[in-house]
Structure 1
Amino acid sequence: MLASVHAELLKFFTTRLWWGMAIGVFVLGAGLSLLFGILYTSESLLETASGPGGVPTGDATQIANSVYTGGLGFAYLLLLCIGVLSIGMEYRHKTITSTFLTVPKRARAMLAKVLALLVIGGGYGLLSLVGSVSVGALVLNLRGEDPFPSTEILRTLALSLLVLGLWALIGLGLGILIPNQVAALMIGVGVAWIVEPVLGFAIKATDFGREHVAPYLPSEATQAVVNTVRSSPDDVRLSWYAAALVLAGWAALAAGPGILRALRQDVS
């Protein structure tokens, strides 16, 4: 199994994709932590529990969480794309045949892909945190705020790595279920970045939707896991561990059927 995981990692790190993604993740993490560090420590947001017009606010821990995970919203989209490409490129370039010939037990080959994506997600997460924490802590300190107001910050940083790994698995499932790689990328990013947030906004328009539906959406679960500031004081959130289970469920819902299809379908 270790040899299979190593082979999957080599497939990724021997391309030029990985360092381009690495630069993007690091720069976005640092840049957005600077932006959110200035935004969330502004006087108007610190004085009230909810700013005018539903301005995002929170306590000191939530503010620090939001600053340090500022790049997470873009990072999980990049990991979603990596998940799609990890299998999509194999089908596009017909290397999936050699993969299954090298590892005849397809279940082992797919498990190796899953484990490799978790490692890649954790690696990019660490890179993002290096940029965001170093810049964010400096901004918070310069603006007179405690960069680490509680030990919960450490839990948030660790959970952000899990979040990225789960989004990569969602991408893996999409890459198998949607044969066309370009279509899979466009649909995945479009749904995650545009459709799902807009749908969530519409769902929150009703009390039932806000309380019983919206918290279970992938993006809402992601924010609950890392305990960032709320977009509105009326927002209902799951506990971090419940949200982590929900996000894991979405990953299983996307990756599970895709992996089963890969195990059974003929390839050439």
Structure 2
Amino acid sequence: MNLLAVERIKLFTTRAPLWGGLLAILLTSGFGIMYIATNSNHADQLSVSDTTGGYQFGVAVAMVVAALSITTEYRFGTIRTTFQAVPNRTSVLLAKAGVVGLLGLVLGEIGGFAAWGIGYLMQPFPGLALNTSADWINVAGGGVFFGLAAVIALSVGALLRHSAGALSLVLIWALMGERLVSLVSEKVYDWLPFHVAENFLHHRPDSGVSLSQGGSLAYFAGFAVLMLVISIFVVNKRDA
């Protein structure tokens, strides 16, 4: 618990989590609110999933914050002090993953419920009410999605160690990387992690993903754990 507290303090000693978190919430909720506002003439055709169309942009910012939480330590050399104080590097990375994962969870929940809540206040039609489990997953599942994505971004940052490279990779990956793969192979695209996570949030028969919503979540969580395990192995093998 002390290590978690230390990592939390280190994370919030910079302004990146504050401003990045606010931007993630604004992007997540803003796109959904704008969509509801611009389609008010067809409000009877709107659904809950229409309010959460900004997840892709919000999660990209959350991933940037997560990646910076470790690449800045490598940049300024403070990671060496951390590893000297706590020789067990696995514990350090697990603590960092716990902190950024929890931050992502909070940002996703706030952004998702803000997008849906404001959208529903603007257009209180039955289609925008949380009537089914799929509707609840669509809104509340955003926090789980953000949290796991933050762990993936942290792992990428630990592997690359350089802010520019890590940020470029997570931004391209979150925003368009997997869709570019779909231009080459739809079969490969159907098993890429963020596409599968999309199936968890917005389950559609035409998505190409053969997994259920629960299976999609397990797949995405397994990928996040795999990335974290790989990063822990690499960090333990090389010099700080």
Q: Which TM-score band (shorter chain)?
A: 0.7 to 0.9
Q: Is 1:98 equivalent to 2:70 in the alignment?
A: no
2:195 corresponds to which residue?
220
Which of 108, 111, 118 in structure 1 is aligned with 2:94? 111
Kindly report which structure 2 residues correspond to 1:180-199, keeping only aligned pairs within 5 A, or say none.
180-199=162-181
1:27 corresponds to which residue?
26
Give the whole-Å Cα distance in 2 for the aligned partners of 1:235 and 1:134: 26
CA contact (8 A) 2:3 2:92 kept: yes
CA contact (8 A) 2:4 2:98 kept: yes
Deviation at 1:44, TM superposition (A): 10
1:38-75 deviation digits (Å, cap 9, x = unpaired):
567764994xxxxxxxxxxxxx7xx30341x2221012
Q: Which moved more, 1:16-25 or 1:193-202?
A: 193-202
1:72 corresponds to which residue?
55
Q: 1:214 to 1:183 in 2, by over 3 A?
A: closer
1:168 corresponds to which residue?
150
Which of 91, 98, 115 in structure 2 is aligned with 1:132? 115
Give the whole-Å Cα distance in 1 for the aligned partners of 2:44 and 2:197: 23
2:231 corresponds to which residue?
258
Deviation at 1:191, TM superposition (A): 3.0
Kindly report which structure 2 residues correspond to 1:134-153, keeping only aligned pairs within 5 A, or say none.
134-141=117-124, 145-153=127-135
CA contact (8 A) 2:16 2:65 kept: no
Taking every aligned residue pair, what percent have the same amino acid on both sides?
24
2:182 corresponds to which residue?
200
SS in 1 for 2:150: helix
Give the whole-Å Cα distance in 2 for the aligned partners of 1:134 and 1:45: 17
1:83 corresponds to which residue?
66
Give the whole-Å Cα distance in 1 for the aligned partners of 2:117 and 2:110: 11
Q: 1:234 to 1:156 in 2, by over 3 A?
A: closer
- TM-score for the superposition, normalised by structure 1: 0.79
SS in 2 for 1:176: helix
Q: 1:140 to 1:74 in 2, by over 3 A?
A: same
SS in 2 for 1:104: coil
SS in 2 for 1:11: helix
Greater Rg over alpha carbons, structure: 1
1:15 corresponds to which residue?
14
Task: Say how many residue pairs are matched.
Answer: 239
Q: Which runs of 5+ in 2 are unaligned?
A: none
CA contact (8 A) 2:72 2:163 kept: yes
CA contact (8 A) 1:103 1:109 kept: yes
Give the whole-Å Cα distance in 1 for the aligned partners of 2:38 and 2:131: 18
RMSD (Å), alpha carbons: 2.4
Q: Which runs of 5+ in 1 are unaligned?
A: 47-59
- TM-score for the superposition, normalised by structure 2: 0.88
Deviation at 1:253, TM superposition (A): 3.4
Query: Whose helix fraction is larger, Structure 1's or Structure 2's?
Result: 2
CA contact (8 A) 1:26 1:130 kept: no
SS in 2 for 1:216: coil
Q: Which moved more, 1:193-202 or 1:174-183?
A: 193-202
1:184-217 deviation digits (Å, cap 9, x = unpaired):
111221233222112124433xxxx2xxx33321
Q: 1:239 to 1:41 in 2, by over 3 A?
A: farther
CA contact (8 A) 1:200 1:217 kept: no
Q: 1:146 to 1:23 in 2, by over 3 A?
A: closer
Give the whole-Å Cα distance in 2 for the aligned partners of 1:180 and 1:165: 22
